[in-house]
């Protein structure tokens, strides 16, 4: 039987309905959530992502503050903007769009963001919280992946979850989230031997490698849940995921499409984190002021 197609767009829309009400209630109690996005350079994909984030803010009534900086902006200037944003009361979330130009040290910039405003969930403190307990601001794509898995109704306890990719923004955090829900997790990467065989044992397969249609249909265990994080543009302009969709859909119980699967969920989770940050208020002011003063 062909798989159930997990409609990430519809789930994101449903979440937006709830979030719009939350924003209205925050506004009526005197706080409009604010998200500042810093974009350095002209990377076309980054521009598209930033545009999508701004539109989502508009739909929800979140204040959007944009910094569109030329590619030759100095690291010092980016750090100084982040420090200003850390201190602004109307900014609850700060997002520095990655990748940054090569002359800017991304690690240094991300470390400078107040963890209470780190709506991307990439600050080591938030990642650390995720590992030992819960992060109030989980990284957006992994959180979106988990929401889609939950929507399938699968009980993860004791299931074999295979994650393809070990990046800090997708593979590693999603593995920890799956582990916390008692899945037995295998993390695969470019040096993994017998990848296809490992995938064939996956009850849940999360593909985040960035290789167009690398995961073949016959790698899918019949009845598996397949979440395709990959976004790859082919030469003809078509967008495809990391999974051979049609063939995989013949075997899976549920599968996400690309586009329209994980992508919209990443944006929805960013909005959710911005609202959470606005509700929680800031913290770490003293520490952050010190770090910024030393920069
Ligand atoms: P990275 O390039 O940071 O990581 C890719 C991972 O895949 C690495 O761990 C790498 O292994 C592994 N890998 C690469 N080639 C192979 C291979 N042949 N076999 C097994 N493993 C392999 O990518 P990201 O995690 O940032 O993103 C992954 C994909 O997800 C991309 O297509 C990206 O565009 C997409 N993405 C989509 C988002 C969305 O909202 N939909 C958000 C974020 C990302 P190694 O570590 O050994 O190099």
Does residue 281 sit within a domain?
no
Kindly report which listed range (29-33, 127-131, 259-263, 281-285) carries the lowest average pLDDT score: 281-285
What's the pLDDT at 294? 76
What atom of ligand 1 comes closest to residue 241's alpha carbon? 32
Task: Give yes or no: residues 45 and 102 share one domain.
Answer: yes
Cα of 36 vs centre of ligand 1, distance in Å, is 26
Task: Give yes or no: residues 92 and 168 share one domain.
Answer: no
Q: Say yes or no to pLDDT of 1 above 90.
A: no
Q: What is the pLDDT of residues 158-201, one digit of tens each?
A: 999 999 999 999 999 999 999 999 999 999 999 999 999 999 99
Q: Best mutation site among 229, 232, 243, 264 for ligand 1, i.e. most ligand atoms within 8 A of its Cβ?
A: 229
Q: Which residue minimizes the CA distance to atom 1 of ligand 1?
A: 167
Cα of 107 vs centre of ligand 1, distance in Å, is 19
259 Cβ closer than 6 Å to some ligand 1 atom: no
Q: Best mutation site among 144, 167, 168 for ligand 1, i.e. most ligand atoms within 8 A of its Cβ?
A: 167
- Specify whether 97 is catalytic: yes
Q: Which two tokens stand for residue 144?
A: 């979106």
Task: Count up the domains in the chain and report the number.
Answer: 2
CATH of residue 73 = 3.40.50.10860
- Domain range enclosing 251: 140-264
Instruction: Indicate the average pLDDT of the chain.
Output: 96
What's the pLDDT at 84? 96
- Specify whether 84 is catalytic: no
Cα distances (angstroms) measured from residue 229 to each of 255, 260, 288: 11, 11, 33
Are 66 and 59 in contact, with CB atoms under 8 Å apart? no
Pick the catalytic residue from 63, 117, 118, 120. 120
Q: What is the pLDDT of residues 64-95, one digit of tens each?
A: 999 999 999 999 999 999 999 999 999 999 99
What's the pLDDT at 295? 74
CATH of residue 256 = 3.40.50.720
Q: What is the pLDDT of residues 148-161, one digit of tens each?
A: 999 999 999 999 99
Task: Give yes or no: residues 253 and 154 share one domain.
Answer: yes
Does residue 290 sit within a domain?
no
Q: What is the pLDDT of residues 216-238, one digit of tens each?
A: 999 999 999 999 999 999 999 99
143 Cβ closer than 6 Å to some ligand 1 atom: no
What's the pLDDT at 221? 98
pLDDT category of residue 63 using cuts at 50, 70 and 90:
very high
190 Cβ closer than 6 Å to some ligand 1 atom: yes
Task: Give yes or no: residues 147 and 253 share one domain.
Answer: yes
| Interacting residues of 46 by C-beta distance below 8 A, sequence separation 6+ | 39, 97, 98, 99
Q: Say how many C-beta atoms besides its own lie within 10 A of residue 197's C-beta.
A: 9
What's the pLDDT at 292? 79
What's the pLDDT at 67? 97
- Specify whether 120 is catalytic: yes
């Amino acid at each position: 039987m062909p798989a159930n197609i997990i409609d990430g767009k519809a789930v994101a829309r449903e979440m937006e309905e709830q979030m719009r009400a939350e924003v209205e209630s925050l506004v009526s109690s005197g706080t409009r959530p604010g998200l500042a996005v810093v974009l350095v350079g002209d990377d076309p994909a980054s521009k598209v992502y930033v545009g999508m984030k701004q539109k989502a803010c508009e739909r929800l009534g979140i204040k959007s503050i944009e910094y569109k900086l030329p590619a030759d902006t100095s690291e010092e200037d980016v750090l100084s903007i982040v420090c200003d944003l850390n201190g602004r009361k109307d900014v609850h979330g700060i997002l520095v769009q990655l990748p940054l130009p090569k002359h800017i040290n991304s690690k240094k910039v991300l470390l400078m963001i107040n963890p209470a405003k780190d709506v991307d969930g990439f600050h080591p403190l938030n990642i650390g919280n995720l590992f030992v307990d819960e992060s109030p601001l989980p990284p957006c794509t992994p959180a979106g992946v988990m929401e889609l898995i939950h929507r399938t109704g699968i009980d993860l306890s004791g299931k074999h979850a295979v994650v393809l990719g070990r990046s800090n923004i997708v593979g590693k955090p999603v593995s920890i989230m799956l582990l916390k829900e008692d899945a037995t997790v295998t993390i695969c990467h470019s040096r993994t031997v017998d990848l296809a065989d490992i995938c064939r044992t996956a009850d849940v397969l999360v593909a985040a490698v960035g290789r167009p249609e690398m995961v073949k249909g016959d790698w899918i265990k019949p009845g598996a849940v397949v979440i395709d994080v990959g976004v790859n543009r082919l030469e003809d302009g078509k967008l495809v995921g990391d999974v051979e969709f049609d063939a995989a859909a013949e075997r899976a119980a549920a599968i996400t499409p690309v586009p329209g699967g994980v992508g919209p969920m990443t944006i929805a989770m960013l909005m959710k984190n911005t609202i959470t940050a606005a509700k929680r208020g800031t913290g770490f002011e003293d520490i952050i002021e010190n770090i910024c003063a030393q920069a």
